[in-house]
Chain A
Amino acid sequence: SYVLTQPPSVSVAPGKTASITCGGDNIGSKSVYWYQQKPGQAPVLVIYYDSDRPTGIPERFSGSNSGNTATLAISRVEGGDEADYYCQVWGRSSDPVVFGGGTKLTVL
Chain B
Amino acid sequence: EVQLVESGGGLVPPGGSLRLSCAASGFTFSTYWMTWVRRAPGKGLEWVANIKEDGTEKYYVDSVKGRFTISRDDAKNSLYLQMNSLRAEDTAVYYCARVWDGIDYWGQGTLVTVSS
Which residues of A are at the interface with B, using a C-beta cutoff of 8 A? 33, 35, 37, 41-45, 48-49, 52, 54, 84, 86, 88, 93-102
Contacts and interface: CB of A to CB of B under 8 A. Distances in A.
B104 A86 contact: no
Contacts of A102: 44-45
B47 A101 contact: no
Contacts, number: 55
17 contacts: A33-B102, A42-B106, A42-B107, A42-B109, A43-B45, A43-B103, A45-B101, A45-B104, A48-B102, A49-B101, A84-B44, A86-B44, A93-B59, A95-B61, A96-B50, A97-B37, A97-B47
Given A86-B44, A96-B50, A99-B45, A44 B106 contact: yes
A37 B95 CA distance: 12
Interface of B: 35, 37, 39, 44-47, 50, 59, 61, 95, 101-104, 106-109
Contacts of A86: 44-45
Given A41-B108, A96-B50, 5 more contacts: A42-B106, A43-B37, A45-B101, A48-B102, A95-B61
A57 B4 CA distance: 20
